Structure 1
Amino acid sequence: MQKKALITGLTGQDGSYLAELLLSKGYQVFGLVRRSSSGKVDRIRHLSGEVTILSGDLLDQCSLMDAIEQSQPHEIYNLASQSYVPISWTQPALTAEYTALGVSRLLESIRRCHPSSRFYQASSSEVFGQPDESPQTERTAFRPRNPYGVAKAYAHWMTINYRQQYGLYTCCGITYTHESPRRGTEFVFRKITQGAARIKLGLASELKLGNLEARRDWCYAKDAVHAMWLMLQQDQPDDYIIASGETHSVKELVECAFGCVGLRWQDYVSVDPSFYRPDEAVQLVGSIDKICKQLSWQPQYPFEQLVELMVDHDLKELTDRKA
């Protein structure tokens, strides 16, 4: 029997890679897309005709129930949210509606319409905020320090509560920052790789950044979505950290990206305090012992290889635009 999967956030970075992965495994894939996002299909344009698009919105429970009834999915992956931390400070209520309450609506829709579905919730390392231990494990206390992290913490615990209260197969993947050429340029990793490429090609002369000493646990989005899929293939549902297990500073990222194009980064990069986060999270790094041991998952792309992959992509994309 062909498996069916429903993905929210299909047009995002993770949604597009997950759709590719599921299609390669023979799934019938449905994607929930908000009407206002229907034009933002660049990341899934190549999947046209292979994925069935359903209209729906995490703010509207009826549309969620309709989508579940139409698709009758074996697996549901919730990758939709307001995911940009700075915007969560300027739009905290909207962030809560999508990132927190949207998950409640989706869980309740599953319970009512198709309780046999297996559900994956995209949790986030931002739930840890400024942690009291490093690396963080699945048992580390949540101390979110921005509206996005608070909303993700609510969604995480609601997912666990529906598992405990109703016996649903629900899992949370606490994902750390994960990158790819499909990442938006508002995120620092892609901002840097594209910035280095633009400067190399003479399209820019300067790159302004915030805190160069900030450290992050970065991994490749393709590795992350493979972990998501693995989580829903187990006999019992559980929660896992998805990360690289190591940290690198923004400065290291800059050095590596500019090194890929043969430039001295100090000649082009300046620090702008306006790019600092209002409350900078400190030393977020995930322990991947549990997921490696229980799911036999390992990240396949080390940091330097990921930076090179993205710089090469941005060089090619920008060169093609110029041609």
Structure 2
Amino acid sequence: MKRIVYVDYLKALGIIGVIIIHLSSKYLTETQFLSPIWIQGVAVESFVRFSIILFVMASGVLLLRKKQTVEDLPRRLKRVLLPYLFWFIIYFIVKMVKVHGISYMLSISNTLNLLITALADPTILSVQFWFVYMIVGVYLVSPIISTWVEHAKRSEIRYFLAIWFALIIISMVEFRFILVEYLNCFMGFVGYFILGHYLHNTKNVYLRSPRVGLLLYLLGVVITLLGFILTSYFAGSNNYTFIKLGDLTLNSALQATGMFIILKNMDYTKVFGRFESSITKLATYLSILSFGIYLSNILLINLFFKFGFYNVAVSPFINVPIFTIITILLCSVMLLILNKIPYLNKITGIT
């Protein structure tokens, strides 16, 4: 099936943003609270909270354009789980050696206990693994969702998205409302999945305007930046209400919606001029490698940090762009090498 150009841009920008988040987060945890360099780290991170969401929205575009069947699931899950299991093993071994030592690994009971715990919650090995379980969950219900989307009226899809968006806002407030808890069981990241499909097919003049997209994106950035700094200031430590793992937040939803609208409706030839072909090829390249880079990048970033190459004493405005490029290049080379090796080419995540 023919590639959708703007979807490649979504995934390319998404993986760049993910790496920026992983790098800038070091400034939030490893520098002095409320110091100038801490604020710079918050600023950098605040501009890319759309990142992981773009992958889910891109999946909504690609999967919900045709009916998904239960028979499609094994093939789709295999493409996600094989690369994940490979990197799970790598991170598992690193965790065992780094935290517990080689002697710990010699005990079968210790190894099995950690293995079972890590399979249940792989974020104890590396934080980015939460995405794999989330997207597997979305894939599992995609046959049901695609059937509903195929037969639902546009007004019914808007109704779903309105409830979902309201729940995101309510969930950010520290007040327990049990109805919200039960509704969240049926929504969560499925909302971003359906939102991607809706924005792809909408004819609304405002949702087809890059200027509206830019406004939504910048509004999301401002809310993220001020929200994180102010809540953290009053809490006396980092407060992650506006920067949550998974980004089911008002500010991140605004950023992702805005960025989606921009990339979907951008005239790439007009913006990039004679460089459009080269930049689009680069975006396609990053899109193809994005899942493999996503799974492997934290291993490299942790090595950079451990051996002092990535120094948070340096401004993130300088440090983060440099190491984002280095991380992407090294991960790409590694994945392309693995892709040339028989059997290992099945686990690179190259799509």
Q: TM-score, normalised by structure 1?
A: 0.26
Q: Which has the higher helix share?
A: 2
Greater strand percent: which structure?
1
Return the structure number with greater relative CO, CA threshold 8 A, min gap 6.
2
